[in-house]
Chains A and B, each alone.
Chain A
Amino acid sequence: MSVLVFTENWDGKFKKLSFELASYASKVAEMLNTNAVALSIGNVDESELKKLGNYGVKKVVSINNDTLKSLDDRAYTSVIAEIAQKEGSKVIILSNNNMGKGLAPRLSVRLKAAIGAGVSQLPLSTNPFTVYKRAFSGNAFAHLELKTDVKIITLAQNSFELIETANGASVENISVNVDASNIKVQVKDVQKQTGKILITDAEIVVSGGRGMKSPDNWGPLVELANLLGAATACSRPVSDEGWRSHEEHTGQTGKIIAPNLYFAIGISGATQHIAGVSSSKYIVAINTDKDAPIFGAAQYGIIGDASKVLPKLVEAVKEVKGK
């Protein structure tokens, strides 16, 4: 028996979310009195693989296969299912991100395993196996019982802390047979953002809404984000107007995020927007309207015009950070 965690790497380096997943998987393994095993697909060198051991994983299974260079959900599902069966995994953990959302449900059918999607904390109990997950777009939470022998959890990003341990992990390189003729999804082009902090990874997100008044006014907001090492984001009207790209849209139909700190600047806080950001640990709202709904979700607020408040805020950050 084991807990299997599916890790993700970017050009051979693990993303932070992989260490979050490893930390979470190790704690679930403790609850079940077993060990966490990590699966890595891709060209990742041994020193990088061993880093997973710093987060409690006891063993890393590494697969480097050219046929799996790009993501085909069906092929990846076969590989993860094969390893899960080989390792006797009773719980399989993936990220609730673009990749995990595609793979976990296929795996659920393949292994006849119940799935708890978008889970944000450790299971409430292991017998029965019950998880706590967001429902009704964050307006409620559900206690969901996973009734099958094997369970799958997708973990919401930024919802679990990194827990470092002194343990080391063994690495097992294995080969798998993947029939290339079964690969039906052909990747023609990859367009990666470079040098930009991803909204879903970011611990701080600085987001602007219609109260920014014009796409030309984004300079101080971007400067604030840069000073804080934050990602920039926006509300739906802003992306619909084309002021900022769709990739920056946070909200119910955009990206659902859970950073440590979320700045909502000139965002009134429609239900759909709050649904996408309400899992943030702290929300700071800046708005001219003292009755704006965003203040109901925020811990800290400033009533004021973004164009006047933002430059002062930038100066305050510079002062505090000694820049």
Chain B
Amino acid sequence: MKILVCISNVPDTTTKVKFVDGNTKLDTTGIQWIINPWDELSLTRALELKDDSTTGVKSVTVAHVGLIASEPTIRKALAIGADDAIRVNAEPADAYYVASQLAEVIKKEQFDIIICGIESSDFNGSTVGSMLSELLDYPSVSSVSSLKIENGQIVISREIDGGKEIVNVSTPFVAVVQKGIAKEPRIAAMRGIMMARTKPIKLYELIAAEPLTQVVSFEMPKPRAACKFVDAENPKQLIELLQNEAKVI
């Protein structure tokens, strides 16, 4: 069984974002790029499945749509333990564009399980994974918080509002995963970092795909008013403020 994990390259989550060109583009100066947190957890779970000899998982590949500048992020995924990688040499334009590129690669390479993080921490779209499944006409399971392979059968726990469902799905399929899929992301060991240098990154050239959306501009959140402090000995004052000033209780 072959697993593909789609990874996105995003600014470190503690980055204080700034914009340039009339607030139309992210100012990339000094940004440290990382694997999107949900994709990193996806990769961790994929590697756990491969480590378990009863699952029949033979390989874990990562795929990424991005220019050469994003290769350090791909190398990090290889250092963590992915067997090989695919990079589509294209600047991500929007979610539909990215999903279209990935779909073409998957049609050529064939995987049994495709895992995508539920969203990326830059555009917060929550869309690439399910778009990909539709482009491939594969079944998809979204909001996945647990993915197991038991006696050759895929057993997934997905979150529903107010509970969870245990589902079976046949391969090939796309799992769109969220918190809970793995506890802590794996950290690359020195041996992994050394090995990552020799692992293959297959390069695909972009296909024609028209983005469906365009960011017109970005804006920063409006600053919040300074915090109003209440004496710890008199929390009744807080309740009164919430009742009479904020009117939320």
Contact = CB atoms under 8 A, between A and B. Distances in A.
Contacts of A97: 161
A24 interface: no
Given A184-B139, A192-B163, A254-B179, A115 B124 contact: no
A295 B229 CA distance: 9
Contacts of A108: 96, 127, 131, 134, 212
A97 B229 CA distance: 34
A71 B121 CA distance: 27
Nearest to B163: A192
A14 to B, nearest CB: 12
A103 B227 CA distance: 39
B249 interface: yes
A143 B219 contact: yes
B194 to A, nearest CB: 29
A317 B228 CA distance: 19
Given A98-B159, A188-B168, A282-B246, A320 B236 contact: yes
Interface stretch (B13-21, B47-55, B82-90, B195-203): B13-21
B184 A246 contact: no
The size class of the interface chain B forms with chain A is 35 or more
Interface in B174-198: 176, 178-180, 183-184
Contacts of B17: 136, 139-140
Contacts, number: 282
Q: How large is the interface on A (under 10, 10 to 19, 20 to 34, 35 or more residues)?
A: 35 or more
B68 interface: no
A284 B221 CA distance: 19
Nearest to A319: B236
A122 interface: no
Contact of B126 (A105, A249, A296): A105
B228 A140 contact: no
B217 interface: yes
Interface string B120-131: 011111111111
Contact of B248 (A109, A282, A298): A282
Given A98-B143, A136-B11, A271-B13, A190 B163 contact: yes
Interface of B: 11, 13-17, 19, 37-38, 41, 95-96, 99, 118-119, 121-131, 133-135, 137, 139-143, 145, 155, 158-170, 173, 176, 178-180, 183-184, 211-221, 224-225, 227-233, 235-236, 238-243, 246, 248-249
Can you list the 10 inter-chain pairs with the closest CB atoms, starting with the nearest?
A: A102-B142, A304-B232, A105-B130, A184-B139, A114-B212, A192-B163, A109-B134, A105-B127, A316-B236, A98-B143
11 contacts: A73-B130, A99-B161, A115-B212, A118-B124, A136-B124, A143-B215, A145-B214, A145-B216, A185-B141, A281-B246, A282-B242
Interface of A: 8, 10, 15, 70-74, 77, 96-99, 101-106, 108-110, 112-118, 130, 133-148, 154, 184-193, 196, 198, 200-201, 203-204, 228, 240, 246-247, 249, 252-255, 260-261, 271-272, 275, 278, 281-282, 284-285, 295-304, 308-309, 312-313, 316-317, 319-320
